[in-house]
Amino acid sequence: MRYVGHLDMAKTWERVLRRARIPLEYSQGFNPRPRLQFAAALPVGVTSESEYLDVWLTERLDSADWIEQLNVVSPPGLRIYTITEVPIKEAALPTLVSHSEYVITPIENMIASDELRQRTAALLSASQIERTRNKKTYDLRPLILDLTVTPEGHLVAHLLTGEKANGRPDELLDALGLDLTQARIHRRHLYLQKESGT
């Protein structure tokens, strides 16, 4: 599933919800679509255990029963853990996202833990980390909230995520002198403002 792009993931969710016979609410117009909204797009190549999706329904569900039914019709690698009723006037899900926690695991023998710690320390000590994305220059440093190397040699990164600022783990890897072929990236948690206390 990590190689499924954001638009294809949205289509996958539509199919899963229809197969489970979820009472979806549809948009109006010539081409009605189920009303779905992701908290934050997951970059291609990144796995995750913490994603949020808002789904508008025409009737209430008993969450315990529907979790099992959804998992039965979901493709391998896509699992539903919880269903929570959200007030209809709640703020849009993407506006509630504050930051993400990524666990980055270098492929064996790609880089020694001591070298990774040195590169991490150098990156954190920099006052500015200039990067270019879509032909626009930006500073990656303020998007890095925290960056540590575990005793096992894993890199744990907390990056700003949301509509106003979005720290990308692939850009972080590149700034450390690594590329996507040299590490596995996993989004362990997607924090909402009410969780982070902001």
The pLDDT tens digits for 47-56 are 999 999 999 9
Residue 195 banded pLDDT, cuts 50, 70, 90: low
pLDDT at 31: 86
Burial of 140 (0-12, 13-18, 19+ CB in 10 A): buried
* pLDDT tens-digit readout, 23-48: 999 998 888 899 999 999 998 889 99
Nearest to 42 by CA among 188, 176, 195, 193: 188
Cα gap 85→63, rounded to integer Å: 9
Is the pLDDT at 196 greater than 60? The verdict is no
Domain spans of the chain?
6-90, 95-196
pLDDT at 165: 86
Is the pLDDT at 159 greater than 90? The verdict is yes
Phi, psi of 8 (to 5 degrees): -70, -30
Q: Which CATH number fits domain 95-196: 3.40.50, 3.30.70, 3.30.160, 1.20.120?
A: 3.30.70
Is the pLDDT at 197 greater than 60? The verdict is no
Q: For residue 132, give every residue at least 6 positions away whose Cβ sits within 8 Å of its Cβ, in sequence order, or none.
A: 138
pLDDT at 180: 84
Cα gap 86→54, rounded to integer Å: 8
Between residues 62 and 139, which one has the greater pLDDT? 139
